[in-house]
């Protein structure tokens, strides 16, 4: 996209189903899941309460994260502030005996919703996503069950995650879809194949997870040898040889663009993400209060379109090296494929 308007315009609110939220929310996964040893309960609580103080209203979790531990964390810390936040969780993807299990059957969705309500200490979920599309269950059946949760007053709005434009359109016929949560960043451009346009057309929010490319688009990109066992990036091609050295060369170019504009790389990456459309909402995650504030500041910055375009030319689907997931994980994802340089 060229000729992009400047990012920023203060903390202008964006539409998320029946809600209005700032352009940058908080993804809570890494407080319990996927990135090695999680922070202590006290550290996680401080991060969540600081986010609340700094104006975050959208908090995103899932049943998968820590096998329910993340939902319990948010329930414990945020229950007293329930009327101030938009609480989003996900069903249809869990861990059973250490294995990821995708299950979009209606009975599973209904049971998962009740379990989420208990863990989150709330009577209603503001936004409930189908975390992964179950290829064994027609999307109409899964979304139909989620629609029943809306009728029952257990859920206010529903969404999909890692879904294609075609699946979104089929689901939207069954019940209005408030949000599509897909990975979207400078190096993960899959939404630009079809879903960015489809969400805009249908009035669906595109919620961008991993907008900082799992820590790559920051001032200190991951050092693979130092990553703890169990960190999901160890199994991602883009963080491994031969791809990572080539991606780090692109990182150095991006860092220079950010420095020339008086920005941190994280600020540039988030400003780029939320500039892709007025319906795009980014949910970066972090364990650091300092990085939290850095991320949230991106919504207030006026970044020239030429700076955003320059970043997009350096890192995109044609220049990134390696796939975003392993072949096994890619087989479980419904999104449109997107190419890479190697």
The pair of structure tokens assigned to 47 is: 């991060």
Choose, from 35, 65, 128, 244, the residue flagged as catalytic: 65
Is the previous residue joined to 6 through a cis bond, with omega within 30 degrees of 0? no
Q: Is position 258 within any domain?
A: no
Q: Is position 204 within any domain?
A: yes
User: What are 24's strand-pairing partners?
Assistant: 282
CB 235 within 8 A of CB 243: no
**pLDDT digits 0-9 by tens, 273-321:** 999 999 999 999 999 999 999 999 999 999 999 999 999 999 999 999 9
Number of domains in the chain: 1
Q: Is position 339 within any domain?
A: no
Give the CATH number for residue 29. 3.20.20.100
Q: Is position 15 within any domain?
A: no
327 CA to centre of own chain: 21
CA distance 141 to 135: 11
Q: Is position 306 within any domain?
A: no
The boundaries of the domain holding residue 138 are 20-221+269-301
**pLDDT digits 0-9 by tens, 10-50:** 357 999 999 999 999 999 999 999 898 899 999 999 999 99
The pair of structure tokens assigned to 43 is: 């550290």
DSSP state of 20: E
pTM score: 0.95
Active site residue 65: yes
Q: Is position 2 within any domain?
A: no
Q: Is position 7 within any domain?
A: no
CA distance 145 to 175: 10
**pLDDT digits 0-9 by tens, 65-121:** 999 999 999 999 999 999 999 999 999 999 887 788 999 999 999 999 999 999 999
Residue 4 has pLDDT above 90, yes or no: no
Helix, strand, coil percent values for the chain (each to nearest 5): 45, 20, 40
Q: Is position 309 within any domain?
A: no
Output the pLDDT for position 12.
Answer: 79
């Amino acid at each position: 996209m060229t000729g992009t308007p400047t990012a920023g315009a203060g903390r202008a609110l964006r539409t998320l189903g029946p809600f209005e939220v700032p352009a940058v929310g908080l993804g809570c996964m890494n407080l319990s899941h996927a990135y090695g040893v999680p922070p202590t309960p006290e550290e996680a609580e401080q991060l969540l309460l600081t986010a609340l103080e700094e104006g975050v209203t959208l908090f995103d979790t899932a049943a998968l994260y820590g096998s329910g531990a993340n939902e319990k964390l948010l329930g414990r810390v945020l229950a007293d502030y329930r009327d101030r936040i938009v609480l989003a969780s996900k069903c249809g993807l869990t861990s059973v005996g250490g294995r990821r299990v995708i299950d979009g059957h209606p009975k599973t969705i209904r049971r998962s919703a009740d379990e989420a309500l208990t863990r989150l200490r709330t009577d209603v979920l503001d936004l409930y996503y189908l975390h992964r599309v179950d290829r064994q269950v027609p999307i109409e059946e899964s979304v139909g069950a989620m629609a029943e949760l809306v009728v029952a007053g257990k859920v206010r709005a529903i969404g999909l995650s890692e879904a294609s434009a075609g699946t979104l359109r089929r689901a939207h016929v069954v019940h209005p879809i408030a949000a599509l949560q897909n990975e979207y960043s400078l190096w993960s451009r899959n939404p630009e194949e079809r879903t960015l346009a489809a969400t805009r057309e249908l009035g669906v929010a595109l919620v961008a997870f991993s907008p900082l490319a799992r820590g790559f688009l920051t001032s200190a990109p991951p050092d693979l040898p130092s990553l703890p066992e169990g960190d999901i990036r160890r199994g991602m091609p883009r963080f491994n040889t031969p791809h990572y050295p080539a991606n780090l060369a692109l990182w150095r170019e991006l860092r220079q663009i950010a420095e020339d504009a008086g920005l941190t790389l994280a600020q540039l990456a988030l400003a780029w993400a939320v500039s892709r459309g007025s319906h795009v909402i980014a949910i970066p995650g972090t364990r650091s209060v300092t990085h939290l504030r850095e991320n949230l500041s991106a919504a207030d910055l006026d970044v020239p379109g030429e700076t955003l375009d320059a970043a997009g030319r350096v890192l995109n689907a044609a220049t990134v090296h390696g796939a975003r997931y392993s072949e096994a994980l890619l087989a479980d994802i419904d999104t449109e494929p997107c190419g890479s340089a190697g």
